[in-house]
């Protein structure tokens, strides 16, 4: 048993009771407030031992929560972009439209029809081409 004045941490006591939430609450690729997205191509490109551990963790997750009614998910690669930089398709997907105003300039409106005050600085989450490799594509090695 460790003494109270021992400077070494007690290895039997976890640092946190919510380590996954702690990790995902900070900025992390593929993590948002409600979801964690792991691109399949990157997961399949992990070293074999990592894949074995990851598959085991997913098995445990699905065995524990497989009885719940899971929805199907549609994952759309997206980035925060300035409104004026979007094309018509991206605008529509983000819930905006660009129309000509009476003077012939572009006026941007949100889904409720309200004009956007400063579209040159207004950022929205818009769909983009997926920059990551697809499953089966070669995944570049991590730079040294």
- Is the pLDDT assigned to residue 7 strictly greater than 90? no
Range scoring the smallest mean pLDDT among 71-75, 85-89, 118-122, 134-138: 134-138
* For range 102-124, the mean pLDDT: 94
Prediction pTM value: 0.69
Domain locations along the chain: 19-65, 78-127
126 DSSP β-pair partners: 79
What pLDDT is stored for residue 126 in this prediction?
95
The dihedral over CA atoms of 63, 69, 74, 79, expressed in degrees to the nearest 10, equals -80
Q: Are strands 123-127 and 78-82 parallel, antiparallel or unpaired?
A: antiparallel
């Amino acid at each position: 048993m460790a003494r109270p004045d021992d400077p070494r941490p007690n290895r039997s006591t976890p640092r946190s009771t919510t380590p996954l939430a702690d990790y995902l609450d900070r900025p992390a690729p593929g993590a948002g407030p409600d979801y964690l997205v792991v691109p399949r191509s990157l997961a399949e490109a992990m070293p074999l031992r990592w894949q074995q551990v990851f598959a085991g963790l997913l098995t445990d997750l699905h065995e524990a929560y497989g009885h719940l009614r899971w929805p199907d998910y549609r994952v759309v690669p997206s980035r925060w972009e300035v409104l004026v930089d979007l094309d018509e398709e991206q605008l529509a997907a983000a819930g905006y439209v660009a129309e000509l105003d009476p003077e012939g300039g572009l006026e941007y409106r949100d889904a409720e029809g309200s004009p956007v005050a400063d579209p040159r600085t207004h950022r929205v989450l818009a769909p983009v081409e997926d920059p990551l490799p697809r499953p089966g594509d070669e995944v570049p090695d991590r730079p040294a």
